[in-house]
Chain A
C-alpha cells in the first residue's frame, strides 16, 4: 500500500507533527503493517518538498511512541505491535482525549447508547486491522 501524506502549511500543527500523525494513522489502519519499511528520510523529503530534518523529526517522534524502530544502515521499520510499549500514562492520555469527544457528543444531545454505536461504526473503518490481529491469536 503506497503511503499518501499530505502537507498543510499554515496549519497550527507543525509539519513534523502532520507527517508523524499521518503515518501513525496508516499504521493504525493496517495500511502499514509491522515490518514494513518507511521511505528513506531523503526520499520522503524530496517527494513532499519539505526539509529532510523535518522528516527525521517526524520519524524520531514515531520512534519515541514505539511505533517504528530504526536499524542503523538499513532504515526505519514499523515495529511489532506486541513489542510496542503502552504504559499507563499513554492509556491515560488516550482516555483524556476520549473525554473531549464524549463532551462534544453529550453537548450535541446524544445519549450514551448513540455514542457507543457511533464509536463502533468508526472502529469498523479500521476493521481489517483488528480482525487480522484476532486471527493471529
Chain B
C-alpha cells in the first residue's frame, strides 16, 4: 500500500548564489492528495520543476513513478499530469485545437467524453481561442486537459491562484474525483490553507527551500498547539520545554507555540515553572502554518501602544 510514487533525495538547486531548494528528502506514497505549502518564494515551484525534470538540480536527485526525473521516458510521462502555475496554454490555439494537441501525448488513456463533458459543463465554446478566454476560463480548460488523460500522478502548481470561489471548488472536486479512482496520487501547491485542509490527507511544508514537514494532515494539526500560562508574580526567564517554536511574554503570561509536545509534558512543565494555571489552545491550520514558518524571533507587525 505504501508504494512511493514521488521521491527526492538531497534535492538541491542554486540559482547563482541563491539557494532555492536545500537538500530536500521527500517521499509521497501512492493514493493520497498532498497539499504542498510554503510562503511565497519558499521554493515550491522550483521543487516541482525539478521533480518534473524541467530544471536540472545542482545536486541530488528525484524520481517519479520510479523513474529518474532527468530521464523520464515518454511512457512514464504519459502517466503524469502537470498543471503549470498561471495555467500557461498556447494562446493562439483554440480549445478544440489544444484538445487534439494534448490528446496526442496520451494516445492510450485520453478520455474524449470526459473532456467534452467538462468543457460543456463549463459552458466554453470549443472554437474559442485561448487568448480570448478569461483567467477563470483558461483555468477550467487547463483542469479539463489535466484530468482527461486520467493521470496516475497529478502535479499542480498553485492551480487555484486568483480564481473565484466557484472555480476553485471545481478544482477541489476534480482532485477528489481523480483520487477516488484506484491508485491515483495528487500533489498540489497552494496558499489557500482552507482548500488544503478540505481535500488533502497529507501535507508537505517547505520553508526557505528546506523541507519542514511531510506527514498526514491529521498529524500536523495535532502536533502544533499553543499553551497559555499565567503566573502570580512574574514569568520565568528561561523557557526550556521541548518542541518550543515561539514564546511571547507579557507581564504575567507566557504564550508558547509548541510542536510535537504532548499535553502531559506541558502540564509537567507548567507545574515545574510555577505557573498558577495554564490553558492549551487548539489552533486552526492557517495559524499553525503561520507560526510554524515564522522566524524564531518574529514579533507582531503592529504593536499598538496603549494610551
What is the size category of the interface that chain A forms with chain B?
10 to 19
Q: Smallest CB-CB separation from B170: which chain A residue? A: A49
Q: Which of B173, B195, B283, B286 has the most CB of A within 10 A?
A: B173
The answer, yes or no, to whether B119 is at the interface (CB within 8 Å) is no
Q: Smallest CB-CB separation from A48: which chain B residue? A: B198
The residues in B between 183 and 202 inclusive whose CB is less than 8 angstroms from any CB of A are: 193-195, 197-201
- Are B200's CB and A9's CB within 8 A? no
A51-59, A71-79, A85-93, A115-123 - interface stretch: A51-59
Contacts from B to A (Cβ < 8 Å): 33, 169, 172-173, 176-177, 179-180, 193-195, 197-201, 218, 221, 282-286
- Are B286's CB and A49's CB within 8 A? no
- Are B218's CB and A49's CB within 8 A? no
Separation of A48 and B275 alpha carbons in the complex (Å): 44
- Are B176's CB and A9's CB within 8 A? no
Closest-CB distance, B183 to chain A (whole angstroms): 14
Separation of A136 and B32 alpha carbons in the complex (Å): 46
Q: Smallest CB-CB separation from B285: which chain A residue? A: A10
- Are B284's CB and A51's CB within 8 A? no
Residues of A within 8 A of B177 (CB): 46
The answer, yes or no, to whether A100 is at the interface (CB within 8 Å) is no
The answer, yes or no, to whether A98 is at the interface (CB within 8 Å) is no
Among B173, B180, B200, B282, which residue has its beta carbon within 8 angstroms of that of A12?
A: B282
Q: Mark A14-25, 1 if CB is under 8 A from B, else 0.
A: 111000000000
Closest-CB distance, B224 to chain A (whole angstroms): 11
- Are A12's CB and B176's CB within 8 A? no
Q: Mark A36-73, 1 if CB is under 8 A from B, else 0.
A: 00000010011001111110010000000000000000
Known contacts A10-B197, A16-B218, A52-B176; 15 additional CB pairs below 8 A are A9-B193, A9-B195, A9-B197, A9-B285, A10-B284, A15-B197, A15-B198, A42-B180, A45-B180, A46-B173, A46-B177, A51-B198, A51-B199, A51-B200, A52-B180
Separation of A42 and B201 alpha carbons in the complex (Å): 15
* A10-B193, A12-B283 given; A53·B201 CB < 8 A: yes
Among B172, B193, B201, B282, which residue has its beta carbon within 8 angstroms of that of A49?
A: B172
Residues of B within 8 A of A49 (CB): 169, 172-173, 176, 198-199
* A46-B177, A52-B176, A52-B180 given; A12·B197 CB < 8 A: no
Separation of A102 and B33 alpha carbons in the complex (Å): 43
Q: Smallest CB-CB separation from B225: which chain A residue? A: A12
Closest-CB distance, A8 to chain B (whole angstroms): 9
Residues of A within 8 A of B169 (CB): 49
> Could you list 11 examples of A-B contacts with CB < 8 Å?
A9-B193, A9-B197, A9-B198, A9-B285, A10-B193, A10-B286, A13-B282, A42-B180, A46-B176, A51-B200, A52-B180
Residues of B within 8 A of A50 (CB): 176, 198-199
Residues of B within 8 A of A52 (CB): 176, 179-180
* A10-B193, A11-B284 given; A46·B198 CB < 8 A: no
Separation of A10 and B197 alpha carbons in the complex (Å): 8
Residues of A within 8 A of B201 (CB): 51, 53-54
Q: Smallest CB-CB separation from A45: which chain B residue? A: B176
Closest-CB distance, B119 to chain A (whole angstroms): 20
Residues of B within 8 A of A12 (CB): 282-284
The answer, yes or no, to whether A106 is at the interface (CB within 8 Å) is no
Residues of A within 8 A of B284 (CB): 10-12
Closest-CB distance, A78 to chain B (whole angstroms): 24
- Are B194's CB and A51's CB within 8 A? no
Q: Smallest CB-CB separation from A13: which chain B residue? A: B282
Closest-CB distance, A111 to chain B (whole angstroms): 28
Closest-CB distance, A83 to chain B (whole angstroms): 29
Separation of A13 and B283 alpha carbons in the complex (Å): 9
Residues of B within 8 A of A7 (CB): 198
Separation of A14 and B195 alpha carbons in the complex (Å): 13
